[in-house]
């Protein structure tokens, strides 16, 4: 059975114990970080060593309704994407061995 992801309270507790800040201050810091990320995503928001939030324009395309099989038009739209930093990929997945 896979491990469960950390909850916000678990992250706050971990960061508070390692930083010397109170849990309340740590929680407020995380909330402010999220607020900044939401506001700045249109300009690309980077968390060094983790990744970058970017706003991307998707082109209109054709799709298929999975229930009926009918072809549908999917309109163009703007979406938020997260691009994982190379350092994060290497740390989580591991460095691929070169031949």
Among 18-27, 41-50, 86-95, which stretch is predicted with the lowest mean pLDDT?
A: 86-95
Q: What is the pLDDT of residue 97?
A: 55
Do 24 and 65 lie in a common domain? no
Do 64 and 91 lie in a common domain? yes
The CATH number that applies at residue 99 is 4.10.520.10
Do 61 and 23 lie in a common domain? no
What is the average pLDDT value for the chain, to the nearest integer? 91
Among 1-10, 39-48, 71-80, which stretch is predicted with the lowest mean pLDDT?
A: 1-10
pLDDT at 31 over 90: yes
Q: What is the pLDDT of residue 98?
A: 53
Query: In the predicted model, what is the mean pLDDT of residues 48-58?
Result: 94
Token code pair at residue 22: 């109170």
Residue 28, domain extent: 1-40
Number of domains, the chain: 2
Do 30 and 54 lie in a common domain? no
pLDDT at 94 over 90: no
Do 98 and 62 lie in a common domain? yes
Task: Give this prediction's pTM.
Answer: 0.73
Residue 52: C-alpha distances to residues 12, 58, 68, 89 (Å):
22, 18, 38, 13
Do 34 and 49 lie in a common domain? no
DSSP output for the chain? -PPPPPPHHHHHHHHHHHH---HHHHHHHHHHHHHHHHHHGGG-EEETTTEEEEEEEEPPEEEE-TTT--EEEEPPEEEEEEEEPHHHHHHHH-PPPP-
Token code pair at residue 84: 């994982």
Do 34 and 82 lie in a common domain? no
Residue 88: C-alpha distances to residues 46, 53, 85, 93 (Å):
13, 14, 5, 8
Do 9 and 51 lie in a common domain? no
Do 96 and 55 lie in a common domain? yes
């Amino acid at each position: 059975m896979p491990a469960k992801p950390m909850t916000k309270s678990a992250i706050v507790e971990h960061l508070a114990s390692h930083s010397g800040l109170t849990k309340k201050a740590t929680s407020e810091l995380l909330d402010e970080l999220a607020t900044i990320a939401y506001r700045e995503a249109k300009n690309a928001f980077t968390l060094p060593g983790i990744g970058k939030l970017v706003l991307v324009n998707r082109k209109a395309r054709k799709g298929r309704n999975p229930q009926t099989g009918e072809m549908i038009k999917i309109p163009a739209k703007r979406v938020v994407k997260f691009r994982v930093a190379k350092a994060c990929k290497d740390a989580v997945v591991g460095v691929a061995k070169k031949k």
